[in-house]
Amino acid sequence: MRGIRGGLIVLGTVGMAYGAWLLLSRQDLGQIAEVVVWLAAAVVIHDGILAPAVLALGWLGGRLLPWAVARGAVTVLVLLGPTVLVAIPVLGRFGAKPDNPTLLDRDYTQGLLAYALLCVCAGVAVALGELRSPQRTVEEE
Amino acid sequence: MRIPSEDSFTSRLRSAAVAARVGLWLGVCFVVALATGLISHYAQNDQQPVPLPTSPSWLYQVTQGLHVVAGTAAIPLLLVKLWVVFPKLFQPVPRRAREALPTALERGSIAVLVSTSLVQLTTGLLNVAQWYPWGFGFRATHYALAFVAVGALLVHIAVKLPIIRDALTGNVDDTAHDRPNARRQGPVSRRGVLILAGTSALATAFLYTAGTVPGVGRIAALSPRSRKHGIPINRTAHSAGVVAEASSSAYRLELVHGATSRAISRQDLVAMEQRTSTLPIACVEGWTRRASGEAYACAICSTWSAPRRGGTCGSGRSRPSAPPPTPCSRRTSPTTTAP
């Protein structure tokens, strides 16, 4: 165990050092600075905006929603939330090029709404399942 | 507003038993993405000391499909993993220097892991949709940060190995490694969270990456590519500014093998024996199509014993003196794009 852990730490450190060297040696200073800004911004956006927003949702949901509905709401949040984030580049069509019809060639709003509907159905099913088996909840608690 | 402490978080879902399982899936995604990404990076190098295998021709298709599937599936998994371990962000730092230094190093490596993972997944996601809101080179940065992220992941696994082993061999509802006050029942069970995270990962990966898969491509509602318009184009000849050069009578296909080279005009190519073959054309951005075409290149290949292979985006063995309007010329950074 000790040997494996030591080996992983050495290998990981070498990997990080090699990656850092690649990053610093292949681009100019302005580009490197922008990568650093992105690295910092990623943490700030996740830990400072996204995570607190989800915490707030959880806090509110825990107080306002009945148990079964909260269960459905968590289902919808976990299934739909990440997908909405993933959909941002295509919903905004930011990479679209006027001379390239093979890129971003769907109605993404419609697609996302259809998926959202499926997620809500799953959430309702989970909430109804909860209502029908009250003895399980008691058992879990 | 009061800054929360680790003890402010009381849900029993925020447990090492959940973190280790989601982390395991995430680790698998990262390893798959690293391995397949290295293949693509190597395939796009001008010089390949050891040539990639040319057969089976669908190898590149499969590896690059796996690359975007693993990367996209990792997004929901990473978000769930970060939710589970979020209280760790508020852990107090030990006062004594002897304890503080290893703690600082460990938490520094976690910060590197979190930030590089978020950036790797985001830039990869945006690259698939060809959105480049940055000035750095995508290929160079994605390649470099891959080593940093996986290196930091190995350090993280090394540090947590005893807990990971206990958690993975134990029951998902074990509380051995939980904080004493993390006892509050959530609206879903731990098993429920794992099922939801896995479903979310699979659904998101399917919706975003399956656009060119025959049969199911139509319902992959968030894919930037589809089968509607034939072979997907990364950059048109027009936007690459090569229409005049590529359709010029001075266009030559230049074949280089060691010290010998030969320039072939379009007329020479047309005069060769024509064959039609169907080969998979695949891109690291995840799309793939089988395309058939008049392949005079096969005649050249047989005389030159150069390897036959499925098309890859942005990589080519031949060096045309003017770039032909390839359907898949890869854009590495906005600065290299011709107007």
Give me the total of CB pairs closer than 8 Å, taking one residue from chain A and one from chain B. Answer: 234
Domain boundaries, chain B: 6-219, 237-336
- Residue to substitute from A16, A21, A36, A138, interface B, most B β-carbons within 10 A: A16
Query: B238, B208, B205, B245: which is closest to B223 by C-alpha?
Result: B208
- Residue to substitute from A34, A60, A76, A83, interface B, most B β-carbons within 10 A: A83
pLDDT value for B1? 64
Average pLDDT of span B28-37: 97
The residue ranking higher by pLDDT, B291 or B153, is B153
pLDDT for A51 beyond 60:
yes
Q: In chain B, which residues have their Cβ closer than 8 Å to the Cβ of A31? A: 135-137, 141
pLDDT value for B137? 95
pLDDT value for B294? 55
pLDDT for B324 beyond 80:
no
pLDDT value for B270? 86
pLDDT value for A45? 98
Rounded distance between C-alpha atoms, residue A120 and residue A77, angstroms: 9
Average pLDDT of span A30-58: 97
How large a percentage of chain B has pLDDT more than 70? 86
Q: What's the mean per-residue pLDDT of chain B?
A: 84
Alpha-carbon Rg for chain B, nearest whole angstrom, is: 25
Q: Assign A134 a pLDDT band (cuts: 50, 70, 90).
A: low
Is the CB of A15 less than 8 angstroms away from the CB of B148? yes
pLDDT digits (tens, 9 = 90+) for B210-231: 999 999 999 999 999 998 888 8
A-contacting residues of B 43-72, CB under 8 Å? 72
pLDDT for B325 beyond 70:
no
Smallest CA–CA distance from B333 into chain A, residue:
A31
- Residue A50 phi, psi dihedral angles, 5° rounding: -65, -50
A-contacting residues of B 256-285, CB under 8 Å? none
Distance in Å, alpha carbon of B273 to nearest chain A alpha carbon: 32
pLDDT for B308 beyond 70:
no
Helices and strands (H and E) in chain A: how many: 6, 0
Pick from A96-105, B141-150, B290-299, B322-331 the range whose average pLDDT is largest: B141-150
pLDDT for B329 beyond 70:
no
A-contacting residues of B 284-303, CB under 8 Å? none
Smallest CA–CA distance from B331 into chain A, residue:
A95
Is the CB of B86 less than 8 angstroms away from the CB of A51? yes
Asked which of A17-21, A104-108, B43-47, B288-292 is least confident by mean pLDDT, the reply is B288-292
Cβ atoms of residues A75 and A122 within 8 Å: yes
Is the CB of B76 less than 8 angstroms away from the CB of A78? yes
Distance in Å, alpha carbon of A81 to nearest chain B alpha carbon: 8
Is the CB of B239 less than 8 angstroms away from the CB of A82? no
Strands of B276-282's sheet, edge to edge?
B288-294, B276-282, B311-312
Is the CB of A78 less than 8 angstroms away from the CB of B197? yes
Average pLDDT of span B277-286: 82
Nearest to B187 among A13, A74, A106 (CB): A74
The dotted CATH code for B6-219 is 1.20.950
Average pLDDT of span B52-64: 88
Average pLDDT of span A23-36: 96
pLDDT value for B322? 37
Rounded distance between C-alpha atoms, residue B138 and residue B116, angstroms: 14
The residue ranking higher by pLDDT, B265 or B71, is B71
Exposure string for B42-55, b = 16+ CB within 10 A, e = fewer: ebbeeeeeeeeeee
Q: Assign A133 a pLDDT band (cuts: 50, 70, 90).
A: low
